[in-house]
Copies of this chain bind each other. A is one copy, B any other.
Amino acid sequence: MREKIINTSIALFGERGFREASIQDITRELGVTKGTFYYYFTNKEDVLMHIHLRFIEGLLEQQEAILQDAKLTEREKLYANVKMIISNIKSGAQSARVFFREMRHLSEKHTSQVLPKRDEFQRNLQHIIQTGINNGEFRSDLRADMLSFAVLGVSNWSYFWYEPDGEVTEDELTDLYMKMILEGIQL
C-alpha cells in the first residue's frame, strides 16, 4: 500500500501539481480511507519527500554501478550516464516533473536531505570528466565543473520535450548527444 500511495501521488502531483492534489484526491483514487494514508505518512509533504528521495537515490544507484565498472573508460562512463538519464524518462517522467518543479514545497529539514544527493549526482559527473581530463581522454582547457552542468543540461532537458515512444529511439538520442558533447558539431 505504501508503494501504491507513492505511485498515485507521483501521478497526481505530476499532473496537477503538489498544492493542487489533496490527500483526499490520493485516497479517492486508491479507494482507501484517509486513515490508511496516515498509517504510512505523516502528511502530504512527507510523501513528497519520499518521491524526491526515491527519484534521486534511484539515479545515484545506477550512477554508482557505472562509476564502479572498472572496464569502462571515462568516455564510456559519460556515455552510460547520459544513456541512463534518457532511459529513465520513460519510467520516470512524472517523478522527474515532481522532482524539478516541487522542490520548494519540501520542508527545510527534508530539503537538506535531498539537496546533498542532487549535488552528489553532479559531482560524480564532474569526477568522471576530471578523471578523463587527467588521463588524456578529454581536453584539458575546459573546466570539469561547468562541463558537468552542460552535460546535465543536455540530458535533463530531455525530460521537458523528449517522447520515448516517438520516432527517435533512446539510443539514437544518446548517440547524437554524445557526438555533440565529445566531437562537437563543427565541420
List residues of A whose CB falls within 8 A of some B CB: 16-17, 19-20, 75, 101, 104-105, 129, 136-143, 146-147, 149-150, 152-158, 161-162, 168, 173, 176-177, 179-187
Contacts and interface: CB of A to CB of B under 8 A. Distances in A.
A93 to B, nearest CB: 14
Contacts of A184: 179-184
A154 B184 CA distance: 13
Given A136-B187, A139-B185, 11 more contacts: A75-B186, A138-B187, A142-B179, A142-B180, A147-B185, A149-B158, A150-B157, A153-B156, A153-B157, A179-B184, A183-B186
Contact of A182 (B149, B155, B186): B186
Contact of A155 (B20, B138, B153, B185): B153
Contact of A139 (B143, B158, B187): B187
Contact of A161 (B101, B139, B140, B149): B149
A20 B168 CA distance: 39
Nearest to A17: B104
Contacts of A140: 187
Nearest to A141: B179
Contacts of A180: 142, 147, 150, 180-181, 184
A146 B161 CA distance: 10
A183 B179 CA distance: 10
A85 B97 CA distance: 23
A61 B75 CA distance: 39
A126 to B, nearest CB: 12
A186 B142 contact: no
B149 A157 contact: yes
Contacts of A158: 149, 153
A176 B146 contact: yes
